[in-house]
Amino acid sequence: MKRVSAAGLGLLLFGGLVCSAGPAAQATLTPENRIAIVRILAYEFAITRQPLPASKNKKEALTVAGNGQVNQEKLRNDLAQRGAAIYTGERVQITKIEFEKDFILFEINGGGKKGRKWYERIQVGVGGAPVPTVSKDGPPPDPSQEPVRAGFGSWVVLRFPEGVPDVTPEHVKELLAGVFDFEARSAATPWIETIPEEFREPVKQRRAVVGMTREIVLAAKGRPEKKIRETKDGVEYEDWIYGNPPFTIFVTFVGDEVVEVRDRTPHSQ
């Protein structure tokens, strides 16, 4: 049997340590791939494969794990508590991308904010310091596509507990595939066409009418400022109250259906 010198043994041991440590080490996101993700995904349109819950802030974002999985139980709870800002099958646009140590945050449809046009706001943030990535003129229009629903936005966060790895734009799209279909050019059946025809125009006008379900009212008017429940003759009523006096609208439900809408604003008197 051949003898191995101490120096040779040391080299073998060192080589073994390097080899064993190699696969465990995770490369962090490079500036090149960060820029590529923004270049490819900023302004990108997609069709939703999941409803996105209405969110007041980024902390309420829909979370996608680093393996592409969505916590369906949490999603159902968020939808039950806050309603949906965006429904399955809707066409949406990524309007902002932020990078942090352990996640990438995607703002959808402007995050529901109103004000400047989306293309004047798209930016990439690194470590909390956002840097504009496009000019004021914004991206070229896409005349082949139907418009998204303005004013309805949300956030999606792609989270990596061990830190954001060196992912490519193509890999990011694969991880988000459970939420977005980036290949579809238009929705086969827009959400507005899935609801009864008599409610479509009121939804576009942001009005609630008798016969609507809670989901449709949330789509039309958003979340109410206040909810009040009371029981009369054994029947439980729930009022959703929009606005503040004297500009107040009461939407009354029995079960999941609107049974009365009372507009108390001065112009309706």
Are residues 138 and 210 located together in one domain of the fold?
no
- Which domain-ending residue is among 167, 189, 211? 189
What per-residue confidence (pLDDT) applies to 136?
A: 33
Q: Which residues fall within 8 angstroms of residue 228, CB to CB, at 6 or more apart?
A: 238, 239, 241
Expressed as residue numbers, the domain containing 264 is 195-268
What per-residue confidence (pLDDT) applies to 18?
A: 38
Q: What is the mean pLDDT of the chain?
A: 77
Whether residue 212 lies inside any domain: the answer is yes
Are residues 223 and 261 located together in one domain of the fold?
yes
Rounded to an integer, what distance in angstroms lies between the CA atom of residue 180 and that of residue 50?
Answer: 8
Are residues 228 and 160 located together in one domain of the fold?
no
Are residues 119 and 70 located together in one domain of the fold?
yes
Does residue 36 surpass a pLDDT of 70? yes
Are residues 80 and 208 located together in one domain of the fold?
no
Are residues 230 and 250 located together in one domain of the fold?
yes
What per-residue confidence (pLDDT) applies to 13?
A: 42
The pLDDT tens digits of the residues spanning 191-229 come to 677 789 999 999 888 899 999 998 888 888 877 888 999
Are residues 36 and 130 located together in one domain of the fold?
yes
Are residues 234 and 185 located together in one domain of the fold?
no
**Total domain count, the chain:** 2
- Which domain-ending residue is among 133, 159, 189? 189
Are residues 47 and 180 located together in one domain of the fold?
yes
- Which domain-ending residue is among 189, 220, 246? 189
Are residues 184 and 200 located together in one domain of the fold?
no
Are residues 73 and 156 located together in one domain of the fold?
yes
Q: Is 178 helix (H, G, I), strand (E, B) or coil?
A: coil
Are residues 162 and 214 located together in one domain of the fold?
no
Which CATH number fits the domain that encloses residue 252?
A: 3.30.1450.10
Whether residue 235 lies inside any domain: the answer is yes
What per-residue confidence (pLDDT) applies to 73?
A: 87
| Cβ atoms 104, 116 nearer than 8 A | no
B/e letters for 227-247, b = 16+ CB within 10 Å, e = fewer, are eeeeeeeeeeebbbbbbeeee
> How confident is the model over 41-47, as a mean pLDDT?
89
Whether residue 135 lies inside any domain: the answer is yes
Secondary structure element (H or E) that encloses residue 235, with its range: strand 235-244
What per-residue confidence (pLDDT) applies to 71?
A: 86
